[in-house]
Amino acid sequence: MTSALLLTDAFDRIRQQVAETAGGLTADQLAYRVDDDANSIAWLIWHLTRVQDDHISDVAGTAQAWTDGGWAGRFGLPLDPSDTGYGHTSEQVASVRVGSPDLLIGYHEAVYAATADYVASVTDADLERIVDRAWDPPVTLGVRLVSVISDSLQHAGQAAFVRGILQRA
């Protein structure tokens, strides 16, 4: 297995989890929060997708689906188009509401397609390229991709946990 195939598989697992977790839920279920300061399924999936969109487009040198693909307009959220959800207050989390899971899944599918296209060409040598010098040590492409995968899987798991709570109620 090549690095490209491994990365593609990892991002595809995130895609599958997003679709399984959000699929079939109502707007109210997507907005459900375990308590007033918890993240909703909608926010978790939106956030993991925004971060993937932001980080992958940055390393790939491409435009984000959120802005250039028109997804920001479709969502109509009261947030700056550059917002990825990092550091959101409870009120900002509550502002991420969607009418149906199709919007979340559609946006994630668009980001996944761009991600899969990019990682399909990644070689082992590419993984050592420095992509962010703001950290000490500087962040390589390999570390950035693993970070996106790790964070996305954690948030997808959190969203699945919240769905499980809803299904038990």
Asked whether 40 and 31 are in contact (CB, 8 A), the reply is yes
Q: Which residues contact 73 (CB under 8 A, 6 or more apart)?
A: none
pLDDT digit string, tens, across residues 6-32? 999 999 999 999 999 999 999 999 999
pLDDT digit string, tens, across residues 102-115? 999 999 999 999 99
With a threshold of 0.95, does the pTM exceed it? yes
Q: What is the mean pLDDT of residues 79-92?
A: 97
Residue 11 C-beta-side C-alpha neighbours within 13 Å: 28
The reported pLDDT for the residue numbered 169 is 74
pLDDT > 90 in the chain, percent: 98
